[in-house]
Amino acid sequence: MGFGLKTTTGIIAAVLVAAALAQASQVFAPLAAALFIIAIVWPIQKKLQSWMPKLAALAITIIATVAVCLGFASLAAWGFGRVGQSLLADVARYQALYAATVDWLDGHGVSVAGLWAEHFNVSWLLRATQYITGRVNTTLSFWVIALVYVMLGLLEVEHIRRNIERLDNRTAARVLLDGGVATAAKFRKYLLVRTQMSAVTGLLVGSFAWITGLPFAFEWGVIAFVLNYIPFIGPFVATLFPTLLAMTQFESWPAVLGVFICLNIIQFAVGSYIEPRVAGSMLSISPVVVLFAIFFWTFLWGLFGTFIGVPITLAILTFCAQHPSSRWIADLLGGPGPEKAGKL
């Protein structure tokens, strides 16, 4: 009875916390992103401030961080800009493909024209434009707030650590300190592995596009590299757009389908086979938990949750592993490490 009451209380508390996170997403989402960035760049800040003033070290760290983020954004904008011009230039060919598809479906008793006219009209286009404009403004606000959190957080890391060390509850202090150090190490390992796998994915996608004669092979590689940082959704987008271009470049539908299948095989091989072996047991999370985390945090925080969902889950499991009463959660939801995999 006691265990059942604790379980029920835990579920209710989790639901209330999730509701609070969703309602206050404009506060907590930038904070989560800032904590992730702080964990990544803190070793740089710590090394710099050991031989220069703290504010000077902070300025260098922030400038370097912003430069890297802007570099990735510029790569994505450049790649999509180059490809987008080609897609717009082939509007007439896409219109012809659409008309042929509608005629074929109408010949088989499937009416598409009425559905298109009902849902995709001028009002829908206006709403879509307003939504995109709003998302751009929200994104800018998000990163400005996150940057403020990062600057203040980097200045307070050592002070917070000393406050935790002075806690009377030694168990809580140990869990916070050990969990924080372990989580930061896993964040850095996660980003390193994600960067390596993104580079491999970009190289394979670009090489495949070049071998098959698909235009903008280098651009497709860059797009695949950048979007691979967003789990599941990024790789899907990176395979969808080359397939759209292949529709106007190749005459046969089997060739287009082959491009789509091969690109997905590349994404699956890197994400589901190579990456888990490179990451090892240090980042061991069940694939089901990864997928749930992406959908759950995307539902709460949108695209920001898609990017930060896996690191948040990784942090939760890491802190759970620091205390005997919650270690079973990390053992249950963690993926098989090398020692477990060998027994399967």
| 228: its two tokens | 């691979």
* pTM for the predicted model, two decimal places: 0.80
Query: How confident is the model at residue 183, as a pLDDT?
Result: 92
Closest CA to 33 of 197, 229, 173, 168: 229
Residue type, 28: F
Residue 12 lies in a domain: no
Quick one: which H or E segment has residue 271?
A: none
Instruction: Find the Cα–Cα–Cα–Cα dihedral 143, 148, 154, 159, rounded to 10°.
Output: -140
Does residue 16 form part of some domain? no
Distance CA 119, CA 78 (A): 32
Counted domains in the chain: 1
Q: Is residue 1 part of a domain?
A: no
Domain that holds residue 222: 29-335
Contacts of 313 (CB under 8 A, 6+ apart): 285, 289, 290, 293, 297
Count CB neighbours of 162 within 10 A: 9
Break the chain down into helix, strand, coil percent, rounded to 5. 85, 0, 15
pLDDT tens for each residue of the chain, 344 residues long: 455 666 677 677 777 887 888 888 888 889 999 999 999 999 999 999 888 898 999 999 999 999 998 888 888 888 888 887 776 776 666 667 666 666 666 666 656 555 555 555 445 555 655 555 555 566 778 888 899 999 999 989 999 999 998 988 888 899 999 999 999 999 998 898 889 889 999 999 999 999 988 888 898 999 899 888 887 778 888 888 888 788 777 767 788 888 889 998 998 888 777 777 776 555 667 777 877 888 888 888 887 888 888 899 899 989 988 888 888 888 888 765 544 443 33
Residue 13 lies in a domain: no
19 domain-assigned: no
Domain membership of residue 130 (yes or no) is yes
- According to the model, what pLDDT value does residue 344 have? 35
Q: Taking the CB of residue 224, how many other CB atoms lie within 10 A of it?
A: 32
Enumerate residues 6+ apart whose C-beta is below 8 A from 76: 222, 223, 226, 227
**From residue 182, how far is each of 20, 42, 189 by CA, in Å?**
27, 14, 11
Query: How many residues make up the chain in this entry?
Result: 344
How far, in Å, CA of 289 to CA of 292, rounded? 5
20 is a domain residue: no
pLDDT of residue 91: 67
Closest alpha carbon to 328 in 6, 73, 5: 6
Helices 253-269/170-212 angle, 10° precision: 150
- Is residue 7 in some structural domain? no
